[in-house]
Amino acid sequence: MLAESDELRLRTQYPVITGLSDETLAHFRQHCAVVSADDGQVLLEQGDFADRFVFPLEGGTRAVVRSAEDREITLDRVRPGDCCTLSASCLFGSCPSPARGVAEGALKAVVLPGELFFRIMDESAAFRRFIFGGISRRFVRLVETVERVTFQTVEKRLANALLERRDPIRVTHQALAMELGSVREIISRHLKTFENRGLVSLARQRIEILNREGLQELLTGVNGESSPADGDTDA
């Protein structure tokens, strides 16, 4: 059952909920639950079936694909107020998850049973626009991710990965390497270069961004590498 305080936060972060009928809201309060997860905790394994829709209230989630060589690519990130397209896609398709869902930061979320999800979809045009709009935006982001992995140097992919996170960033070089489909040594070298340029400050399992504009310039090619170094594009 949904507590009043959690419902208030949910309405604030997801205003689309406020337009539901009194009857549906009553079902919502009765059947929704609040879950918590630690940073890095696996919420959904690749190949599992999702039967719930997730509304993050704190922290967030990542959708990742892992290769047989234990490398990872992040396909999507969901923050409070965002549409969780991974769970929505699994519900719509009644299909196994194409990616692993992982908590990012200390996660607190409201989970909506699949049956109630479809009831709200049928009832609320605003909720349908929220879901389909979210899926559309995430598809665009997925195409951008494919372009980055295929065409961008590791330097640019790393800069983008840092800019997508909240500062200070608590992550290991190995975790970043797995996420970007690279290796730790290359990521560590680029991070050290970033530090020497005054873009970031490095500590154990912690990265602080000192110059966001400088990192953004790397993505636009203003101060980036003129050509891939040491085979970094494919690493």
Q: In this predicted model, what pLDDT tens digit does every residue of 60-85 receive, in sequence order?
A: 999 988 877 777 788 888 999 999 99
Residue 147 is predicted with a pLDDT of 76
Confidence of residue 178 (pLDDT cuts 50, 70, 90): confident
Under the banding of pLDDT at 50, 70 and 90, the label for residue 214 is: very high
CB 116 within 8 A of CB 27: yes
* Contact residues for 79 (Cβ-Cβ < 8 A; gap 6+): 56, 60
pLDDT above 70: percentage of residues in the chain = 93
Q: Could you list the beta-strand ranges (E) of 89-205.
A: 100-113, 200-203
Over residues 179-205, the pLDDT tens digits come to 787 888 999 999 999 999 999 999 988
Mean pLDDT for 131-143 is 90
In this predicted structure, the answer to whether residue 119 has a pLDDT above a threshold of 60 is yes
Q: Any long-range contacts for 214-221 (C-beta under 8 Å, 24+ apart)? A: 215/159, 215/162, 215/163, 216/159, 216/163, 218/155, 218/156, 218/159, 219/156, 219/159, 219/160, 219/163
- Helices 212-220, 154-163: inter-axial angle, 10-degree rounding: 140
- Tokens linked to 194: 């970033």
What average pLDDT does this structure show over 132-152?
Answer: 83
Give φ, ψ of 232 to 5 degrees. Answer: -65, -30
Average pLDDT for residues 33-42, to the nearest whole number? 94
pLDDT band at 231 (very low <50, low <70, confident <90, very high): very low
* CA torsion angle 74 80 82 84 (round to 10): 60
pLDDT at site 228: 41
Residues contacting residue 7 through CB under 8 Å, at least 6 positions apart? 29
∠ Cα 220 183 197 (to 5°)? 45
Mean pLDDT of the chain: 87
Would you call 4 exposed, middle or buried from its count of C-beta atoms within 10 A (0-12, 13-18, 19+)?
exposed
pLDDT of residue 177: 87
Phi, psi at 80, each rounded to 5°:
-50, 130
Residue 226 has pLDDT above 80, yes or no: no
- Exposed/middle/buried for 138, CB within 10 Å: 0-12, 13-18, 19+? buried
Looking at the predicted structure, is the pLDDT value of residue 227 above 50?
A: no
Question: What is the C-alpha to C-alpha distance for residues 50 and 112, in angstroms, rounded to an integer?
Answer: 11
Residue 115 has pLDDT above 60, yes or no: yes
Return the pLDDT at 221. Answer: 67
